[in-house]
Homo-oligomer: A and B are copies of this chain.
């Protein structure tokens, strides 16, 4: 049976556009002889829509679309994800309008029957992710709840579909995204389908890509193979492509739709390059695999490109402050890759503290990228600020407050450039700065998008090297990229905010990057866990151990001093993160609506104090 994998670039909130793309793909698939075409989870509306999916008017609009899609099903089975509503059933838990996250199945203008004859053409998602950026339980009612409220066994909704096409009849198990990741749920739809007897399982997903997601999926499939042995069936996974956001995080969808054989091996695969693709495969055959893409770089480029296309109509100029440092250089190169050089304008805004060297790096980067570039000074505005502050009885203008003035003046100028050009600002912060609040609110925290806010400095070194290779030119000065060898790190030009003379970033690179990931990546860790590990000498077995020694943190006094500085900085930076721009999420835990934070007091917790004391006493003993 020829099956079309409709790896749709879902345009969140744009129903007409999604329907138009789906219709075109259905026609193309039919023309190529496919018996069946499969679209991702929540293909009609998108998946990350905030509370729009709670609004009856919007949901009604989505429900109407089902009849339209069904009407395209002459000679071809169509499976798609959309919201559903069950008139007369109990409300969702919020006490209002009930909504399910469902898979629809139509053929020959009819809803396709299940073995038990109930609810033709409709399957409701059973397993609800409520971690990271997922909020399924907020929006949807699960298949489990429907069974429970009707006093049925909880597997009642897991029933194979019977699909007869020409002279072939197949039994299909249809499930939605998390239903495959059922290990920790009270119900396992995949296992139930296999037990009830199906020819293959179709999993429709809207599964954002974050680091190593591919490996996790392969592992999950292998667990099913181990559990079901020769009873295992092929799994056809169809994922969305493109970009969607939840306000604070910009998520990318890599596609990578795949047919897994009974043995868990890949039989056929669509590209994983975040792009829309129609893959037509016979599910009995084995196909050559596409080239795996450079995932992190592609994810960032794609996020920028789709953000620009969807929200800025692909027209607004992108304004970027080019300091001659690593982060802004990498960002400028990413913008040019995503949008072309004519869409990017770089600005260098020097103060008395900026070195000629970094200014010249900025100019060289801009020149090599071929972007419009302007240089100027912030000194007049800084002086005018100082004068005005005198008028408000503030005389001594110095220290951190004076540094912040410089950063905010740059933010003000970038905002003014963006206003006049009708453009948007690219934020240049990285994840470590964001974690430690090493940025000035309304200064360098501003922007419409933070492409690098989920990248550590280590990620940036990697990206810088790859970008120079791709452009075949030293776009990013090699002075900015350190050599990391034998557990030592050496910079030509070490990272600096250049807000005072001889200022250097206070981060202990590699170690602090690692700590930031340790504390944010799902499931995140608490300080007490890290102190326990150190107090019990378990750190020595970790891959980060050489760097702990490199920075002399194997000396407990140094360790305590550093971790207190680190955790306080982290803690007091929450208020800055609350007002940070949307971050492109690429790791297994990014700031925003992914790793969620309340603003809490900094507390000298008694258990923490006891642990610190234990660590310091250890130092005394050695």
A interface with B by C-beta (< 8 Å): 11-17, 48-52, 54-58, 60-61, 64, 90-97, 127-131, 135, 137-138, 145, 148-149, 154, 181, 183-186, 244-248, 310-311, 313, 347, 374, 376-378, 380-381, 384-385, 387-389, 391-394, 397, 400-401, 404-405, 408-409, 411-413, 415-417, 419-420, 441-442, 446, 448, 522-530, 532, 574-575, 577-582, 593, 595-601, 603, 605-607
Are A57 and B532 neighbours in the complex by a CB distance under 8 Å?
yes
Are A247 and B54 neighbours in the complex by a CB distance under 8 Å?
no
A421 to chain B, nearest CB (A): 8
Q: Oligomeric state, in number of copies? A: 2
A493 to chain B, nearest CB (A): 26
Contact of A248 among B378, B394, B578 (CB under 8 A): B578
Are A600 and B526 neighbours in the complex by a CB distance under 8 Å?
no
- List chain B residues, Cβ under 8 A from A598: 12-13, 48-50, 52, 244-247
Closest Cβ neighbor of A54 among chain B residues: B523
Are A127 and B49 neighbours in the complex by a CB distance under 8 Å?
no
21 sampled A-B residue pairs with Cβ under 8 A: A16-B606, A51-B524, A54-B523, A54-B524, A55-B525, A55-B529, A64-B607, A128-B137, A148-B186, A310-B601, A380-B387, A401-B416, A405-B419, A409-B412, A441-B446, A442-B446, A448-B575, A578-B581, A579-B579, A579-B581, A593-B593
- List chain B residues, Cβ under 8 A from A245: 598-599
Given the interface pairs A415-B442, A581-B578, the reply to whether A247 lies near B13 with Cβ below 8 Å is no
Closest Cβ neighbor of A134 among chain B residues: B138
Contact of A55 among B376, B394, B524, B574 (CB under 8 A): B524
Are A394 and B412 neighbours in the complex by a CB distance under 8 Å?
no
- List chain B residues, Cβ under 8 A from A388: 376-378, 380-381, 413
- List chain B residues, Cβ under 8 A from A397: 420
Are A184 and B415 neighbours in the complex by a CB distance under 8 Å?
no
- List chain B residues, Cβ under 8 A from A607: 61, 64
Q: What is the bound-complex CA distance between A411 and B412, given in angstroms? A: 9
